[in-house]
Each structure stands twice: as C-alpha cells, then as structure tokens.
Chain A
Amino acid sequence: MNYSNSQFTGVSALFKIDVKLFMLVILVVITGLATLFSVSGGDYNLIIKQLIRITIGMIAMILLAQIHPDNFRLFSPFLYIFGIILLILTIFFGVGKSADRWLDFYILRFQPSELMKIFVPLMIASFYSDKALPPKLNNLFIAVVIIIVPAILIAKQPDLGTAVLITSSGIIAIFLSGIKLTHIFLGTGLVIGAIPLLWSFMYEYQKSRILSFFSPNQDTLGTGYHLAQSKISLGSGGLFGKGYMNGTQSQLDFLPENHTDFIFSAFGEEFGFIGVLLLITLYVLVTLRGMSISIKATDNFSRILSGTLILTIFLYVLVNIGMVVGILPIVGAPLPFMSYGGTSMLTVFAALGIIMSIKSHQRLMRK
C-alpha cells in the first residue's frame, strides 16, 4: 500500500488530518465560541468548559484519523452490536430528566444513542462494501432492519428526534450505496404509509411538539414559545444584526436555550442576515469538502461512509436551523460545532476523524 505523499506535508502528514476541512471547521468552532461568550454575558468558565470539550473532540478526531478505514469496516458489526446492547441497557437502567437517555457508568456518563449516529452509517457502509451495487432487494431489506432496530430502541427512550436523525443517516447511506430509483419510490411510499402508525405510538409531548410546529402562535408561552422567541431574535437582527454582545433577546434571556439548541438564533440576532449567510456558507463548504473526499475515496466502503457522515453532519445543521427558523418541528437537536455541550461535539469531531482517516489512507487503485 502506498500513500501519495505529495498531498501530505508537515503537520497534516503527521496527524493525518485534512487541513482544508479542519480549517473550515475551526472557523465554525470559533464563531460558536464567540456567540457562546456573548450569550453567557462574558462567562469565561463556560468558554473554558466548551474549549475542553472541543479539545477532547479534536483529540478523538486525530486518534480516529490514524486508524485505517479497513479496521472500521472489520469492527463495524461488533461496534453496532455493542451499541444495540447499550441501547437495551438504557431502556432498563437509563437516567435522565425527562427521558431516560443517559447511561451512568460512574466515571463516564453518556448517551448511547449518540454513538449510534456513527455506528449505523458505519454498519450500512460496511454491509454494502462487499455487496454488488446497486443493492438487491433482500440486501436493502437487511439494511432497513439495521436502521430500524436502533431507531425503535431510541424512540422508546423516548427520543424521537435522534431516532429520526439516525433513520435519516441510514437512508443517506443507502442512497449513496447506489439504490435503484424504483426502490427509492417504494421506500418513500412505505414511509408515508407508516406516518399514521408512528403517530399512534408517539407520546403526548411528542405529539404536542409537532402540533405546536404547525401553529406556533397559538400558545406563545407554551410549546410554541421557543419558536416564537427564536423568530423574534432572528427577525429583530435584520440585515447587519444588533452587534456583538448587543442582542437583547439572548442577553435578557427571552431566547430560551440560547447557548445550546438556539445558538443559531442568538448568532443571527447579533450578526444579522450577513452573518447567517456567511455561517451557512461555511457549513456548505465543510460539506463540499467532505463530499470531495467521498468522491475521491478509492473503495465503496470509504465512499459510502465518508459521504454519509458528512451529509449527516449537514443534515444535523439543517435540522437545527430548520427547527429554530420554523421550517421543522422543535426536536431538540444541537447545532454541530457550535452548540454548548459535550456529547454532540465529540460525535461530530469523531465523524470528522473517520472522514480524515479515509482521506489520509487513500489507496492507489487496484486496477
């Protein structure tokens, strides 16, 4: 196996990271830190905590970048089964405020559902890596089972948002694996048919969240309050924003969750539409860079995996922004690289690490 050394020089060669992708992500991370600093009213403790998480995320990214993609492929079934076991454990031993999403191992406390965000695409990519593409119908069926099992377990916690996101990332993986058009139509039909069934299985608060999405103005202080305040924050920002540290909505706490799920609205309030345009452009550039790595990857596993991971990250961006601007229901999803919180930061950096591993371990063509 040969590495084309010309692409890797200096630090990037040493750590096997993709400098372009990394620099773009760092820009987003800095934007996030600056916004956090503003909404917390200049709380250095908060920034230091977030910096520690970012550092841990980056270390995870660099470590994962060192591992050869073949290892991900070989270990993927074990990782997937490990994740499923943890999810089952969560159902019995899980802790949490409103839903039992967390597993507490005394020294380590985390959400197993977060692991599945990576393990599911990994499993699908690995499953399809040695199958003839486009996949046959029976292989497609197996892939659907691979996705559905963890999705149901997570929805049971109950964490509908993550369940939908994981299902979506699985669907992206299947799409990238080369699914036939007829199968796409078939799948779409199935999903639409499943909606009423899904509705009947939902909890009341999940239903009310979705209902409030369709009529947010009916109860400004109830479930629609978050969205109403989020739109007020963005809208009052205007073209140029109110200026750094000057957002009244976020500074005076009218915008709820302003350093976690609604950080985008806080950013939009202070930096205006110009800021929003630049930020979304950054996310698109991150995605483009990831897709470029995916296209240039040398085997199906690498292609499917890197493509799925970067598109999934972009999907998370879409879900978060869509939710705070009122395009999607409020499901409680963080904004990748910006929202305050450890788990999400670790997950997206880990995904980035795998993409970089694929980029840095490119093989020469076999033929």
Chain B
Amino acid sequence: MVSKHRNEIIRKKQRFEEKTGWEDINDPALDRASHKLRALFAVAIVFLVSLFYLNHIYEIQITDHQLYTLKAEDNRIRMRPIEPIRGNIFDRNGIILAESYDTFDIIAKKENILSKDEFIINASKVFNLNKNQQEQINIQFENKKLKEITLKKNTTLEEFTKLSVDQYLLPEMELVINSNRRYIYPKAMSHLLGYTGKLSQSDFDSVVDVKDGMTHVGKIGIERFYQNLLSGSPGYEKLETNANNEIIRVLENRPALKGQDIYLTIDAKLQNYSYDLLKDKEGTIIVMNPHNGDILSFISHPGYDNNLFANGISSKDYKKLLNDKSKPLFNRLLSGQYPPGSTIKPFFGIVALEEGVIDKTNVFACTGAYKLENYKRPFKCWKKDGHMDVNLSSAVASSCDVFFYRLAETSGIDLMHDKLKKFGFGEKTFIDLYGEKKGLLPSREWKNQSKQAPWYPGETLNVGIGQGYFLVTPLQLASATSMLASGGDSVTPHLFLKSSDNNKEQTYNYNDNKTSINIDIDSLHIVNEAMWRVIYDNNVGTASHIKKIEGIEFAGKTGTAQVYNLDKGKTGAKSLQDHALFISFAPFESPEIIVSVIIDNGGSGSGVAAPIARDIINFYFKNSKTKLSKK
C-alpha cells in the first residue's frame, strides 16, 4: 500500500520536474560545497555563542561568587531571637511584686503572606473564624504599622500542636512566645514599679540598652530605671529554613541570659497598708529610714492598674485614665510640687538659731497679725486671736505664723535661700527613678530672672511660713525630714536594695549614700523637741488632739498649705481647698523611720494628714518584722 502510494508521488514529481526544466535542477557538487560552507559557519556560531555563554556564566559563578554565596546564605538562614526572661522584682522581705510569665500567640508575618484573600480564607478554615473575626484580620492587614497578623492570642502549646495539623493550609502561621509581665499589687505599686511596654522608636536614643531581639522594655518607674539590670540578654537560634519558611534544622543555639532579680527597699505590707489608708483621697506618703535612705513606702494616690499597660492598654482604657480628674497617671511623689506650708518652720527655725538671728530664749508677742512697713494689709497668723508670747520652741509647736514672719523679716530672703538649701530644697534628691522635679526655693536672683521683677519684703514673709513661691516635692520634704531625724545626716533616698543573679549578688552601696550637712546639734534638739510638743504638748501642740501610740513616742510637724488659684470665682471647690501636710519621725528618742504625708486639697494637716502618719507609725512598729539598722 505504502510503496504504491509512494511510487505515485514520485511519478507526479517527475512530471513536475519535466515541466520546470533543467536549469532549476541543482548541481549536487555545488550544493554540497555551499552547504558545507554554511554548516561550518553555523558551527563557528555555535562555538562563539558557547564561549559567550561560558563567559557570562564565569562572571556569575567565579567573579560574583562571594555576592551570590551571601545571598544564598541569606535565603536559607534565619536568625530567630530568643527573648530573655525579665528579672522579677521583690520587696525587702522577698515578697514578689512583679513577675514574668510566658504566653503563646499564633501569628503570621506579613512578609510571608503572598495573597491576603487566600490567607484569610485558609485562616478561616483553620481557626473557624466568623465574619467578624475575618474582618478583624482584614483590619490588621490594613494597618501598615503592624508587621504581623495575630491569629490567636494567649494560646497553649497543646493547642498549637493540634492546629499544626493544618499547617499545610496556612504555612505562614507560627507560634511566638511572649514574655509577659504581671504586677501582683497593680494599683498600690503602680507609681513605684511603673510598667513594661513594646519597644518603641523613642527607646532607642534613651538610657535603655537596646539589644537585638528585645521586644519589651521598661517604660517608667523601677522597670525603666533598672531596665538594663532586669532585661537580661537575648539569645538567638540560627535556623536553616526552606523556601516555604519551614525549619529544616537548628544550626546554632545561643540561649538567652535571664535578667537579674531586683529586691527593693519597699516593705510590701507597709506599702499596701499605707495605700489603703488614703482611700478616696489624693496624695502621697513616704516612709523612709532616715539613716540609710531606704524607702519603705512609696505612695502616690490614686494609682492605676499597671497590668493594663503591661498587656498593651486599649485606647479606651487609656483615655479613661487620662480624663480621670484624680489624675491617676500623675506621680505626685516625684513630680508634684506643693507649698510646704508650716512644715518649713522646723527647718527655718534651725537656720535662724544657727545663724544667730535669734536664740532659744527670744520671745515675741503674737497678736494675730504682723504689720510690715509699706504694706496696707497686715500679715495674718492662722490663729486670729494670736499666740501671746512665744519663743522658737512654742512657735514651732503651735505653728505661730507671726513669729516666723518676724524671723523672716529679720533674716532676709538671701540668708533664707542660702541656708535652707542645705536641706535639699530646690534640688533633686536623685532617687533611683526618672521624672523627679526640683521644686522651687525662691531667691532674689530667681525672681529677677523668671519674672523680671525685684524681690518685695512681703514675699520674704510668705516664704517664712512656706507659702508664696516656695514649692517642694513630697520626696524633698521627706528627705529634709530625715535630716532632722538622723541628727544632721543627708542620705539619698533610694528604692534599690540588691540585685541577684544566679550566683552573684549586688547590694546597694550605702557608703556613698551619706553626707553630713553640719547641723548645730543644740539647735536641732530645740527644734526636734518642739516637734515632739506638736504631738504631746496639750497646751500648744497643733496635733496634740490625735490619738497617741502606746509605747512609741513620735515627733511631727503639721502644715496646711494655702492653694492659690487664679480662678477665685469658684471658691469652695475642692481644688481650692488647702493641702494637708504632716512630717514626722519615730520613735522620738532614736528615730527609725520618718513618715511624710501630703493630702491634696485635704484640709488641715493636723486633722487629715497627722492621723494617717500616726496609723502608719503604729502599723510599722506592730507589724514590721524587719527592724532596720540604724547605721
């Protein structure tokens, strides 16, 4: 069949060739030569192109070998940081105040997600998401700031293992371990401990030693100040992954170094007790050892729930805190500035004695007001009828204003400014926290600079009773009080007691903590005794009405600081009420602690602040197991 067909074609061809004529028929020898030439030309091109190719490949494989080796390593090697466990925070007796714990989240990095729609569809299958939850994921996609999609928060390892069965649907999903922070006494310790939060841009140029792999840092409080001790050192895992980002093997593993545990000088029981005493009031309490600066209670009331911040506070909660009229986010103890009021009188008294402005026998008559030249209105004493004849001791005990007006006029503002400085007024105490304010010890120079106005004699009188421009922070006042209690030693208030690593322990350096302010001991005794009379002299003592403590005598000084407010129209509103102040130390004979209480707009120092201090002293000596060294 085939051959018959073939023959027919050949015949047809022959007929065709006959028609076309011989000139169209090839000369075989010529064709052969022509073809050979062209074939050799083609071979030459084959050689040339091959050489060109080899040259190109040479450049990739030999010339750029280093570059591509790096890129290949980049492809397959992932560094996975291991976040260190943050050190815990304890009180002086080892009661835990802040601790770290791990939670597990399932996330997907955006850079690994190729198709958003496909991802959401698959995620819905794996996690059984409803419409609302899908929309949540979509919102996370829209948020350009987020680098990863959180699929499930606070899950467990077991649950992740179960979900891993569906990993083929959602290869992007991965488990991340989050180190979280829990505060055991959220409100009472909030202004003391602060909180941790996500590492932000502002942390980079700060005191924080930012290391690769860190995700959270202390933002404020002790968490911030001791960030570098608490944080530890992140480790890493060097992983080999394939193109699907699946881990093939671990090439190298450097474990993280746990952060150090920190023990604070705080007595947790006393702290909580003190905090609860303030109930609905706004104010501060400091309990401190006057001999070594250990702070036992550090209260700024009201506090806030710092666990909210540690877990990433919602904007709703944050707004609520910001708009709260009692200002729970404001650390009054460090940043609040109050007129010291009559609590300045013991300090001024010492200065006046030391400088010979008066001696202890000098007696002035208080008629309820003090007349100053060129001033129409007299300067009033808090006691309308006057204190009759007073000396320094009874002036302090009865808090006679007229006595101190006179003292101020005699001393002059320059001497007052220069000598009161040694108690630390107008200077930071350099406590181990950030955000401390300086207060204001006014002077001629200061007024000239900040108000472009001369100093008036009437202003000197106001400073003499702790009013006018005079401002102190609660911490300054406590620190100054401790100088009275310690017999003239200035100690830096501090919260750090010791830190402990696995094997080494680092204790607070008490040697550098103490300097003498060269106080005249006789003068100090006169003033301290006057402060005892505040409580125990039933005739003159401004706080003599309060309930005493059995077995323990203490000394103190009340203060009722007037609040000046431009908005005079709203007199009687709470914000215009006087601040109530009380400074004290106990026991009187050999002081172990000082207690300083300030209640914002709380009324009188004797009525409001003094009983609180009394309760704290009582609680301390009844319950506190640790008796503090006197040094």
Contacts and interface: CB of A to CB of B under 8 A. Distances in A.
Contacts of A272: 61
Contacts of A254: 72, 75-76, 242-243
Contacts of B72: 232-233, 235-236, 248-249, 254
Interface string B12-32: 010001000001111011011
B58 interface: yes
Q: Is the interface of B mostly helix, strand, loop or mixed?
A: helix
10 contacts: A132-B24, A176-B35, A236-B71, A237-B61, A252-B242, A280-B50, A318-B49, A318-B53, A326-B56, A327-B53
A366 interface: yes
B56 A176 contact: no
A344 interface: no
A366 B57 contact: no
Contacts of B9: 74
A300 B35 contact: yes
B34 interface: yes
| Residue of B13, B36, B43, B248 ringed by the most chain A CB atoms within 10 A | B43
B112 to A, nearest CB: 10
A235 B61 contact: yes
A236 B54 contact: no
Contacts of A243: none
A89 B415 CA distance: 111
A211 B56 CA distance: 20
A311 interface: yes
A314 B46 contact: yes
A209 interface: no
B68 interface: yes
Given A236-B71, A252-B241, A254-B75, A295 B42 contact: no
A175 interface: yes
Given A176-B42, A248-B72, A234 B62 contact: no
Nearest to B24: A132
Interface stretch (A108-116, A150-158, A283-291, A349-357): A283-291
B240 interface: yes
Given A74-B9, A327-B53, A176 B39 contact: yes
Interface in A120-166: 130-134
A235 to B, nearest CB: 2
Nearest to B17: A130
A232 B71 CA distance: 6
A25 to B, nearest CB: 16
B71 A291 contact: no
Given A130-B13, A132-B25, A273-B61, 10 more contacts: A235-B60, A235-B68, A249-B76, A254-B72, A273-B57, A295-B36, A295-B39, A311-B46, A325-B56, A367-B28
A283 to B, nearest CB: 8
B46 A236 contact: no
B65 A325 contact: no
A231 interface: yes
A232 B43 contact: no
Contacts of B65: 235-236, 238-239
Given A74-B6, A367-B28, A236 B68 contact: yes
Nearest to A175: B38
Interface in A254-270: 254, 256, 268
Contacts of A335: none
B503 interface: no
Contact of A131 (B24, B39, B58, B64): B24
B64 to A, nearest CB: 5
A209 B144 CA distance: 29
B53 A365 contact: no
B69 interface: yes
A234 B35 contact: no
Nearest to A297: B35
- With most chain A CB atoms within 10 A of its CB, the pick from B6, B17, B24, B71 is B71
B191 to A, nearest CB: 49
Contact of B69 (A172, A238, A252, A314): A238
Nearest to B75: A254
Contact of B68 (A130, A231, A280, A321): A231
Nearest to B38: A176
Residue of B17, B40, B49 with most chain A CB atoms under a 10 A cut-off: B49
A254 B77 CA distance: 12
Interface in B62-91: 62, 64-65, 67-69, 71-72, 75-76
Contacts of B67: 235
Nearest to A221: B114
Count chain A CB atoms within 10 A of each CB in B69, B72, B243 and give the residue with the most: B72
Nearest to B32: A303
Contacts of B56: 325-327
A276 B61 contact: yes
Contacts of A232: 68, 71-72, 75
Nearest to A321: B53
A178 B75 CA distance: 51
A365 to B, nearest CB: 7
Closest 3 CB pairs of A and B: A235-B68, A236-B72, A252-B242
Given A300-B26, A327-B56, A365-B28, A248 B35 contact: no
A90 B325 CA distance: 79
A144 to B, nearest CB: 18
Given A132-B23, A284-B50, A327-B53, A235 B76 contact: no
Nearest to B72: A236
A68 to B, nearest CB: 10
A287 B25 CA distance: 30
Contacts of A238: 61-62, 65, 69
A307 B60 contact: no
Nearest to A241: B61
B430 interface: no
A254 B78 CA distance: 14
B101 interface: no
B584 to A, nearest CB: 70
Contacts of B75: 229, 232, 248-249, 252, 254
Interface string B468-486: 0000000000000000000
A236 B69 contact: yes
A294 interface: yes
B47 interface: yes
B42 A277 contact: no
B244 interface: yes
Contacts of A327: 53, 56
B3 to A, nearest CB: 10
B68 A178 contact: no
Contacts of A104: none
Nearest to B13: A130
A253 interface: yes
A74 B13 CA distance: 10
A96 to B, nearest CB: 22
Contacts of B10: 74
Contacts of A303: 31-32, 35, 39
Contact of A178 (B28, B35, B57): B35
Contacts of A229: 75
Contacts of B242: 252-254
A256 B244 CA distance: 11
B297 to A, nearest CB: 59
A322 interface: yes
